[in-house]
Amino acid sequence: MGPLLALGSALAYGIADFGGGLLARRAHFAVVALLGQVGGLLATLAAAPLWPDRSPTASDLAWGALSGVGTGLAMAFLFRGLGRGAMSVVVPVSAVSGVALPVITGVALLGDRPSLPAWGGIAVTVPALWLVSRNGRGGGSGTGGAARDAPAATTDALLAGVGIAVQYLALAQAAPEAGIWPVAAGRAAAVAAVAPLALAGRARRSWAPLTWPLAAGAAATGTTAAGALVLYSLAVQQQLAVVAIVLSSLYPAVPVLLGLTALHERVTALQAIGLTGAAAAITLLALG
């Protein structure tokens, strides 16, 4: 059941990422991000009292809040990186570092000991994520022009990966008895982290033309992302955190597949190889 929950988390996160990406074409990314986090916060606050396990300690809530800070930092650095450099570099670097850092931490500090098949799956996941995340347009940037500052964009991508790692590792420390209150605490912290981006500069001016359908869509993507974290928190209770993190981190494959089926986009040869590698990684990690 653990691998299925982690894969469900990847699916939900991928859907949220896909939806958020579409909405960010129509509104400022920070506004979409903030509305998404608010939607996730409201959804988890509504569901938390109904959850069977709901006895969080202060430590559980603190871990959840730290996870949310990781979410906010990841979004901030990822979006800044996309504004500075090529998407085909920023996205895969953040995805790979976001899975590699938790694996190293889990093995070195948390005592996780994956089996041999699981190690094989982990080894396949890193290059698979890199290939899947590459869009084949190395010269394009998040703002549509040529990459202006590739070293700075790569640094932003690495920092975004650190945020992703903090998100997963911190949430894994919350006790099962806490229910989904740590996820709710994380959404509150993420709102606090993203709000300054959405309420300043050009983002502040983009609130005026915002429509209710767009706002509702953004909130829905955040609710879906919060659901992904709930599934992930359940997954880490049933298997090694390293395995749950790696499986949940396969979410970049989902927007690629949705782009292929829903938007009729073309998948590059490298992305096809990456998707095949991701399927192999899932099999190995499930066997492990």
Query: What's the CA gap between 205 and 184, in Å, rounded?
Result: 29
How high is the pLDDT of residue 145? 44
DSSP 141: B
pLDDT along the chain (288 residues), means of 10: 92 89 82 92 93 89 96 83 72 81 83 85 87 62 50 85 92 92 96 89 74 92 94 91 87 82 80 87 78
From 212, 248, 205, 217, select the one nearest 230 (Cα to Cα). 248
How high is the pLDDT of residue 234? 93
Instruction: Considering only the C-alpha atoms of the chain, give the largest distance between any 2 of them, rounded to a whole number of Å.
Output: 55
How high is the pLDDT of residue 135? 64
Find the DSSP H helices in the chain: 2-23, 29-47, 58-84, 87-108, 116-133, 150-172, 181-198, 201-205, 212-235, 241-248, 253-261, 269-287
| Residue 116 one-letter amino acid | L
How high is the pLDDT of residue 149? 66
From 280, 272, 269, select the one nearest 247 (Cα to Cα). 280
- To the nearest 10 degrees (0 to 180), the angle between helices 58-84 and 181-198 is 40
How high is the pLDDT of residue 261? 82
How high is the pLDDT of residue 285? 82
Cβ neighbourhood burial of 283 (10 Å; 0-12, 13-18, 19+): middle
Task: Evaluate whether 275 touches 124 at the Cβ level (below 8 Å).
Answer: no
DSSP labels for 166-234? HHHHHHHTS-GGGTTHHHHHHHHHHHHHHHHHHTSHHHHHTTTT--HHHHHHHHHHHHHHHHHHHHHHH
